[in-house]
Structure 1
Amino acid sequence: MPYWEIFTPENAFTPQDKEQLSQRITSLYTDYAYDLPKFYVVVLFKEMPANTMYVGGKANNNFIRIRVDHIARQMDDPEMRFLCMEVIEEKLAPLVKERGYDWEVHIDETPMDLWRVQGIVPPPPESDIEKLWARENRPVPYELTG
Structure 2
Amino acid sequence: MPYWEIFTPENAYTPEDKEQLAEAITSIYVDYANLPKFYVVVLFKDMPANTMYVGGKPADNFVRIRVDHIARQMDDPQMRFLCMEVIEEKLAPFVKERGYDWEVHIDETAMDLWRTQGLVPPPPESDMEKLWAKENRAVPYEGAS
On whether the aligned pair clears a TM of 0.5, the verdict is: yes
The offset of 1:105, in angstroms, is: 0.1
The 5 A counterparts of 1:71-82 are 71-82=70-81
Displacement after TM superposition at 1:29 (Å): 0.3
Cα distance in 1 between the residues matched to 2:135 and 2:46: 32
| Structure-2 residue corresponding to 1:28 | 28
- TM-score, normalising length: structure 1: 0.98
Instruction: Tell me the C-alpha RMSD between the 2 structures.
Output: 0.8
Instruction: Look up the equivalent residue of 1:112 and give its one-letter code.
Output: M
Q: After superposition, where does 1:43-122 map in structure 2 within 5 Å?
A: 43-122=42-121
Shift of 1:44: 0.2
Aligned with 2:125: secondary structure?
Answer: coil
String of CA shifts for 1:8-57, please: whole Å, max 9, x gaps: 000000000000000000000001x1110000000000000100000000
Amino acid at match of 2:27: S
The amino acid that maps onto 2:13 is: F
Cα separation, 2, equivalents of 1:55 and 1:95: 20
Residue 136 of structure 1 deviates from its aligned partner by 0.1
Q: Structure 2 regions of 5+ residues with no counterpart?
A: none
Distance in 1 (CA, whole Å) between partners of 2:95 and 2:53 is: 18
User: 4+ residue stretches of structure 1 with deviation over 2 A?
Assistant: none
1:126 aligns with 2:131: no
For 1:103, give the aligned amino acid: W
Residue deviations 1:64-122 (CA, integer Å, cap 9, x gap)? 00000000000000000000000000000001100000000000000000000010000
TM-score of the aligned structures, taking structure 2 as reference length = 0.98
CA distance in 2, matches of 1:113, 1:60: 37
SS of residue paired to 2:33 = coil
How many angstroms does 1:144 deviate by? 1.3
Cross-structure match for 2:36? 37
